[in-house]
Structure 1
């Protein structure tokens, strides 16, 4: 499961990582608008309240992790009902412009210390796994005790507190791990509530089939070949795959291929015919048609738009 989730996160992430430490003394409240930015909070000391737009308040204690995987709007504050101010109003810049910066709010009340991490997510194509997640994934310190997530939290905290040469690259890798481990801990903590993609990742036939598609999207897969590879009759496999993921095996293969292609288009200058071959298309025309159907734009236009945005925002990724 971890490999698949990690691959999805890596494929959807774009641009550099935003991270920093927040030293917040009450009273305080910070409002974040809904945007395609995955955000994760780790509580180092003190406590705070996180309120997703239209949702109920979550109380977080030292060692807890809160992940907002799809960028839902939310408020973080020292207590429920506290008036909130936007990041730009408080610090004079948007979130993605504050990387490696200590965010300080001075007050007379108790102090909360957070390590915050965020990175831009590519909204198209939207992966069905991300779409299936709740607005906030909350894992308590007790739930993660002795797990890989607890180790990743400690590594991230240490790296941010003792930043040096190479820290941005290290933090980027740790945030990917933290994203993946947080989801894994959250899923494993709910064995009786697994449904949809959570069930798919644990299913003894669907999980391995997903791993095969992710590891080699260029292979000319068929439903028969996947069913044979996981040792399940074709009809039963097709039903299980569709009921858990919400897509037929071939529909999902198309989505994953275009997710991989979108990342290749954003991050490099390889010719379209080369990218087409990497995701299983012999014909550049067939690839372009599939890409436009799933992503909503022709691949050349998609690449030009993202490269233009990267120049405008000074993205070095």
Structure 2
């Protein structure tokens, strides 16, 4: 009998590792009276908060008090003390004491202060914005810790598209280990002790992983999208097999045999849930594995081609250029240069 493979967490962990998930908390926001803050799309914020990142998503933790999150096209979301909300697609949004309030004028202060020690204190009160100011905890009606999480989108990141525009994590559903860690992070943010930035980076990453897992757990087995595909007994198994050995010369027939479906049934079910054909998924995942190996810098392009299932360096290079726009060696040099400059 073939060994059983967990169809839920292994591919999710693979993707989280391969897309270079990295977090940072930047703002400790104190609010009083009526207040409203506007956050532009993360594509506009990224050069200031996480230079060089392909994709940045924002999150907010309501450490004290309540408020609202507003995104165009979505109903206002009420936030209570202890709640976390993430915006996986980087949408512009408002955070406020009540829906419909006009945001305070902020200007381009963030770009002028991006070199300041983190986290940066901010105060909103009476409709006014006061950078580099922090109210005493007792004077604030709401305290929000705002952070950013960066990840790669290319060559292949199926997770981001599978998440909703607003990922709400109510306080009562947060794991027992998350709440005390967040409370400690908030304390560190207020006290500005040495090592605070590093601690908040790790907490940010763990919040995102916990949120993705909780969203996955809540999905029905027939939910469309990559995460829904992981929950499907047959498609999830097929994805796990491809992740477990991307260099294997998989065919649709062999995958179908291993998961207990006919060739046509697996293809139809895979496309319906994951949104692409199994062999296209395999090709995309091979490119992502190749990108990780290129970034690590230990193997030649020819060796990487073999590691991810290509018979020749030329075939791998053509596929990689189609996926990223650059040949592997050029892409590797660009990645190394971005690490040096950021």
Q: Quickly name the TM-score band, shorter chain normalised.
A: 0.7 to 0.9
Q: Hey, what does 1:268 align to over in structure 2? A: 297
**What residue is the counterpart of 2:13 in the other structure?**
6
CA distance in 2 between counterparts of 1:252 and 1:8 reads: 13
Determine helix, strand or coil for the equivalent of 2:29: strand
Query: Which residue number in structure 1 is paired with residue 67 of structure 2?
Result: 48
Give the secondary-structure state (helix, strand or coil) at the position aligned to 2:61. strand
Q: Does 1:29 align with 2:37?
A: yes
Q: TM-score, normalised by structure 1?
A: 0.82
2:164 to 128, 134, 139: 134
* Alignment-derived partner of residue 82 in structure 1: 102
Change (3 A) 1:48 1:263: farther
Moved more, 65-74 or 27-36: 27-36
Residue 101 (1) aligns with residue 119 (2): yes
For this pair of structures, how many residues does the alignment match?
A: 306
SS at 1:13's partner residue?
Answer: coil
| Pairing 1:257–2:286 present | yes
Using the alignment, how far apart are the partners of 1:287 and 1:30 within structure 2?
A: 44
Q: CA deviation at 1:21?
A: 5.3
Please give the secondary structure, in 1, of the residue aligned with 2:109: helix
- RMSD between aligned residues: 3.0
The CA deviation string for residues 125-150 of structure 1, in whole angstroms up to 9 with x for no partner, is 352332232221112223x15xx4x5
C-alpha contact (below 8 Å) 1:43/1:60 kept by paired residues = yes
Contact (CA 8 Å) 1:68, 1:136: kept in 2 or not? yes
- Note the C-alpha offset of 1:154: 3.1
Deviation at 1:249, TM superposition (A): 1.0
The question of whether the paired residues in 2 share the 8 Å contact of 1:38 and 1:67 is answered with yes
- Residue 288 of structure 1 deviates from its aligned partner by 0.8
Instruction: Tell which structure's C-alpha radius of gyration is larger.
Output: 2
Q: What is the 5 A alignment of 1:282-293?
A: 282-293=311-322
Counterpart pick for 2:150 among 97, 116, 120: 120
Query: What is the alpha-carbon distance in structure 1 between the residues aligned to residue 308 and residue 198 of structure 2?
Result: 27
Shift of the 239–190 alpha-carbon distance from structure 1 to 2, 3 Å rule, reads closer
Q: Which moved more, 1:216-225 or 1:205-214?
A: 216-225
C-alpha deviations, 1:34-78, integer Å up to 9, x for none? 322022222211122222345432221112121122322223233
Counterpart CA distance in 1 for 2:337 and 2:29 is 35
| 8 Å CA contact 1:291, 1:297 repeated in 2 | yes
> Which blocks of at least 5 consecutive residues in structure 2 are unaligned?
1-7, 44-54, 127-138
Name the residue aligned to 1:310: 339
Counterpart of 2:86? 67
Alignment map for 1:132-281 (pairs within 5 Å): 132-142=162-172, 144=173, 148=175, 150-159=176-185, 161-162=187-188, 171-191=200-220, 194-268=223-297, 270-281=299-310
CA distance 1:103–1:270, change in 2 (3 Å):
farther
Structure 1 position 166, deviation (Å): 6.9
Shift, 1:254, TM fit:
0.9
* Distance in 1 of aligned mates of 2:299 and 2:106: 40
User: Could you tell me which of 17, 22, 26 is aligned with 2:23?
Assistant: 17
Structure 1 gap ranges (5+): none
**1:221-245 Cα distance to aligned partner (Å, 9 max, x none):** 2222222222333322222112110
